[in-house]
Amino acid sequence: MHTQDWASSPSVSTAAAASASSSGNSAFTPQLPAPNRIADPNEPSYDQYYRTFGDTEADRQAHEFDDGPLDLHNGHAGRGGTGGGSASDHSDSDDDEHHRVVNTDPTGRFQCWDICLGKGAFKEVYKAFDVEEGIEVAWNQLRTDIISRKDITKVASEVRLLKQLRHDNIINFTDVWTARGPDGRERVYFITELMSSGTLKSFIRKAKGKLKLKVVKNLCRHILRGLAYLHSRTPPIIHRDLKCDNIFINGNNGVAKIGDLGLATIKNKDHISSVVGTPEFLAPELYEERYDERVDIYAFGMCVLELVTKEYPYQECANQAQIWKRVSAGIKPQALAKVADPETRQFIELCIAHDYHQRPSAQQLLDHPFL
C-alpha cells in the first residue's frame, strides 16, 4: 500500500484526484479496499472511554431529524438524522409492555408498534419488531403527501439498492415496500436497524466537558471506515449530507454508524433546494454541482471539528447566505481557532481544504498519523 507522506505537505495529489478533475462531475471509482470490521482489539471500549448518555432512559432521548423540527414524546426538538431509528425513552419502560401493533408489512414479518421515535417534515419513525429474527427494528415511513409519485418510485428504488450494503459502520436497511396508508395515499415504508443511544449529536451534547482525544479518534476511525466502504462501491456512493445528526451510536459498544443514506432524493428543488445538504457541512464545490465523493470528506472534517469543540460550525453566521459566502471564499469556521492541539487542527484542515484535490480519500485518512 502506498503510504502518504503527510509531513511533507498537507495536500494530497493522487491519480484518482486527477481522474476526477478531468471527468467533471462524474464520481470516480477509487481503487480502495472495502473494510468490513468495527475496530482493532486494542481500540478503547465504550465502558473505558465513553461517557454515558444520561442516568435514565429518558435522558437518552435525543434522536433528531434533519428535515424539520421534531415532535418527540419527551419534548426534545432539533435537526438531525433519520437513517436509523433511535431507542427512545420508551425502551425498557412500561410502554413497551402495553404496546399494540398498528401496522404490518405485506409479508407479516415486521410489526409496527404504537411507539413513535420521532416525526419530521418528510418521515416518521416507529419502533417495530422483526418476528423472523426476534429483534426490535426501526419502522420508517415517508410522508408522500408532499412528494411526487416520481420521487416515491425513486426513493423506493434507491432503498432497494441500499439493502445490498453490509458494513459494521453503516446503518443496515432490511426491507422496503410501497403501500397505501390509512389516508389512502401511497407511502414508502422501509426497515432499518434500531440504534440504542441516538445520534453523534446527542453524544456530544450529553458528554460533560470535552471528549477525550481517544474517543474522538475512535469515532473518526468508525466513520472513515463507513465512508471508505461507500466510496469503494461501483459507482461510488456519495452521502452528500453527512453530519453528526445522522451518524448513530450504539451505547453498549460505542460503535458509530452512518445513516440517512438515499433520502436526499426527496429534498429537491421543488421542496427545499436544488443544493442538498446542511449548509454548515456543505463543501464549496457542492454549490456548483460539480463534485465527487470528497464532499463527504469535507463534511467529515466538520464533524470532527464539532466533536472536538462541541460547537456547530459557522455559528458566527446569522443565516445560510452568510455561510455560503464564507464557504465559497474559503473562510474557515471560527471554531477551528479553538482547536488547541496542532495535530488535530492539521487533520481537520486537511479534510476541509477548499480545493477538493487537496482532500485525501477516506482510506488515506485511515492511515493518517492522527489516527
Query: What does the H/E/C string look like for 275-316?
Result: CCCCHHHCCHHHHHCCCCCHHHHHHHHHHHHHHHHCCCCCCC
Single-letter amino acid, residue 46? Y
Q: What span, in angstroms and rounded, lies between the C-alpha atoms of 32 and 20?
A: 15
CA-to-CA dists, residue 6 to 221, 235, 297, angstroms: 17, 28, 16
Annotated catalytic residue, options 260, 292, 341, 355: 260
SS3 (DSSP) at 336: helix
Rg from Cα positions in the chain: 20
Based on the residue annotation, tell me whether 260 is a catalytic residue of this protein. Answer: yes
Residue 114 belongs to what H/E stretch?
A: strand 110-119
Q: Where are the beta strands (DSSP E) in 157-246?
A: 173-180, 186-195
| Contact between 51 and 207 (Cβ < 8 Å) | yes
Task: Output the CA torsion sign for 197, 201, 203, 206.
Answer: negative
Single-letter amino acid, residue 227? L
SS3 (DSSP) at 269: coil
How many C-alpha atoms does 105 have within 13 Å on its Cβ side?
23
Task: Give the catalytic positions in this structure.
Answer: 260
